[in-house]
Structures are given as C-alpha cells and as structure tokens.
Amino acid sequence: MKHLCLIAAIFALLLAAASLTLLATGRTALVSDAGLVKLAVVAAVVAAAGFAARWITGRLEHRDHRRWILAAHPVAWLLVLIVLGAALGVGRLAWQRATAPSWHGDWSVGIYVSRGTEPADFEPLGDQPVLAADHVTDLPCAFVADPVLVDHGDGYALFYEAWNTRSGHGDICVSTSRDGLTWIYGGRVLDEACSLSYPTVFRHDGSWFMIPETRELGELRLYRAERFPDQWVLDRVLLDGAPYRDTNVIEHDGLWYLLTTADYGTNLLIFHADDPRGPWHPHARNPVVTDDGDHARGGGSVVVHDGELRRFAQDVTPYYGNRVRALDIAALSPTEYVQTPADGEPALVGHDAWNVRGMHTLWCIRLDDGRWLAAVDGHGLLVDTKPRWRD
C-alpha cells in the first residue's frame, strides 16, 4: 500500500507543478505560453499512468501479492480514489485555464432585452454572445468587455474594451447596428499609453463625449468626438490624484453628477458640476458608500424610469466580475445620497456557458416600445460564438 500511496502522491505533485506553471505563464499576454502548460499536464498524466502500470505489473507477477491487492483496506482504496479524483480535477481546471485567451479570462459581449417596461428582468436577445475577441480584426485581441450602448438617432453604437495582447493593455473599439441584432465592426477608436476600459459615452450641447477609465495615469479624462463614433480627441482632465474606476455621469435636477470609485470598488465617490466639463466638486458626504463590495463600483448605465434614478453596480465579492446589482437612487444632491436595492435584484447573473463565471456590466437604453435594450458582458468557460455579424 505504501507504493500505491507514493504513486498517488507523485501524480498529485506533477499536476500541482503543472498548475504552478500555469500561474507563472498565465500572467502574460502571450497566449502561446499556454502550450507549456498543456505539455506539463500531459506529461503529468503520462508519468502517473506509467508509474501505475509498472507497479501493477510488478505486483501481479507474484501470486502472493494478488491477494494482498484485493484484500487492501477499503478505507485506503477510498483515500486513493479521492486523491486521484482531486488530481484529475486540478488537471482539468489547468487545461481549461491553459486554453483561455489570457489570464483576464474569456470575456465577451451579449445583447439582452427587458421582458417589460422596467429596466429589469432582462433576457438574451437571440443567440449569445454577439461579440467576442475574434471579431476584433485590427489588433490582436484576447477578450472584449465593458460594453457601453448608445442610440445616436440613426442606429446604435456599441463601445467596449478590447484587450490588446501586443501592447498588454485595453483599447476602446466600436461596433454599430441599425436594429440591435446585426452588428458591424467599426475598428479601434481610442488607443493610449495606458489601459482603457469602461468607456462611458454621453451627449451634451450637440457634442458626443467619452469618459474611459484611465486609472494608470492617476486621472480621469474627458474625450470629445470630432467625428462620431470613430474619431476622438482629448478634451480635458476632469479629476486627478487618484486611480478612478468605472465612472458614470448623469444630469439630475439641473446639475451634473459623476459617480466613480478610486479603490478596488468598495467605496463610492460622487462629484457634482454645472457642466460635464467641470469644474467638479466633491460630494459633502464622500465616500457616500463605504466598505461595500456589492453596491459601490459602477457596473453599467444610470437610467431614469418613471422619474426615478436607477444605477447598476458590480458585485465584486467574493470575487471580481461576480454579478450585477440594480440600485434605486432615492436621493441625490450635493449634500445627500441614498440608494436601496431594487426589486428583483441581482439584475444580472450568468447561467450559460459564455457567462457562467460571472457578469459585471449592464448598459441599457430605452426602446420606442417602452422596453429596454441592454449590452452586457460575461465571463465563461469556453466561448463558442455564433453571432449575427458582418464585417
């Protein structure tokens, strides 16, 4: 029995070594490194099978040992099965991890629609996802995420982060659609020295503006469209001195409000201004939400429904990209802020293969029939996209 336990231990250690190799190579944008992990997993399985075959062959050559094998204590055999099962589970996880596009995971984008006239109770609109990394054709892309959906009067524009494996950071790309079903890839529209994500887009005084996340610069930037939706220039820096994340803007009661976080996503900050170009002034109660990983960090649009404000927030506990929660804003002013969980929340939880690991963005706009069209993202196991898409 000692030899059998030794073989099981070697098997487990080999798979553990493969997992460590995966972690070591998984933090690079070079997807080809994952081939080393595949090789390590295969080597572990082959080595373990060889040890097991050699041991069994040697034992069966001696008649005395045949009875010993069959008469081994059931608890010992159960322990061996548990160890082997756990090792196979680790190997399967390592293989899945190795075939993922990058350590960020296989995020992709889908289109949902509400079942009723409230910004809630969303369901997939046809086959999902509609947009994955392989649809980005002008840069080597590992994943797409953080979709922002806008209606520009002649159709829809969908802005999103595309992770560039060559530069090792996110760029902002755009796709357009006439009906929300068939999408045309429009290319990369914003590329900076830092990583870009969560491209909040809005219109003011006839001009289109974008506030992407630029936390690596320690500032929050405002971009203006010289030609919508594909040409943008830096307009000004709105805030500096902190790594602002996932920012939203909304006009309410004659003032503009900016909602953001400056940490991992547990404290919500609000700023207010007379104009979205600033100057921005901090809320009297900042941070207005503290130590709350379920309801602080922005996870989608801020919408107005029946005269009431609703925002969507990322649930970053117990892990990043878990789900999206809906929050009704009961009071918003320069000195007051109150939010409460909306009915039927969480608003978004992944159930399908493409989003089963989590979802963290829901950006919705109202349709003419009163329903809501939403762009969402999801993190899945294996993305097999069959979108309605044309170049």
pLDDT in tens, 206-259: 999 999 999 999 999 999 999 999 999 999 999 999 999 999 999 999 999 999
Measured CA distances, 296 to 183, 237, 330, 333 (Å): 32, 23, 15, 17
| Confidence bin at 175 (pLDDT 50/70/90) | very high
Q: How confident is the model at residue 351 (pLDDT cuts 50, 70, 90)?
A: confident
Q: What is the pLDDT of residues 126-169, one digit of tens each?
A: 999 999 999 999 999 999 999 999 999 999 999 999 999 999 99
Question: At residue 87, what is the residue type?
Answer: A
Which of residues 180 and 337 earns the better pLDDT score? 337
φ and ψ at residue 216, rounded to 5 degrees? -65, -20
Domain 107-390: which topology? Tachylectin-2; Chain A (2.115.10)
217 three-state secondary structure: helix
Strand partners, 328: 310, 340
Quickly state the pLDDT bin for 334 (edges 50, 70, 90): very high
pLDDT of residue 385: 43
pLDDT for the residue 11: 58
Domain positions in the chain are 2-99, 107-390
Give the confidence band of 34 by pLDDT, cuts at 50, 70, 90. Answer: very low
pLDDT at 36: 40
Quick check: 99 pLDDT over 50?
A: no
State residue 18's pLDDT score.
59
pLDDT at 64: 52
Could you count the other beta carbons within 10 Å of the beta carbon of residue 134?
A: 14
**Residue 93: its H or E element:** helix 74-99
Backbone phi, psi, residue 57, to 5°: -60, -45
pLDDT of residue 318: 83
Name all contacts of 4-8 with Cβ < 8 Å and 24+ positions apart. Answer: 4/55, 4/76, 4/80, 5/76, 5/80, 7/48, 7/51, 7/52, 7/55, 8/80, 8/83, 8/84, 8/87
| pLDDT higher than 90, residue 307 | yes
List, in order, residues 6 or more apart from 189 with CB less than 8 Å away.
Answer: 159, 172, 173, 174, 229, 230, 231, 232
Q: 40-54, 184-198, 233-247, 306-320: lowest mean pLDDT where? A: 40-54
* Separation in Å, CA 243 to CA 202, 220, 261, 264: 22, 8, 8, 9
Q: How confident is the model at residue 306 (pLDDT cuts 50, 70, 90)?
A: very high
Q: What is the mean pLDDT of the chain?
A: 82
Identity of the residue numbered 135:
H
Write down the pLDDT at residue 89: 62
Distance of CA 329 to the CA centre of its chain: 25
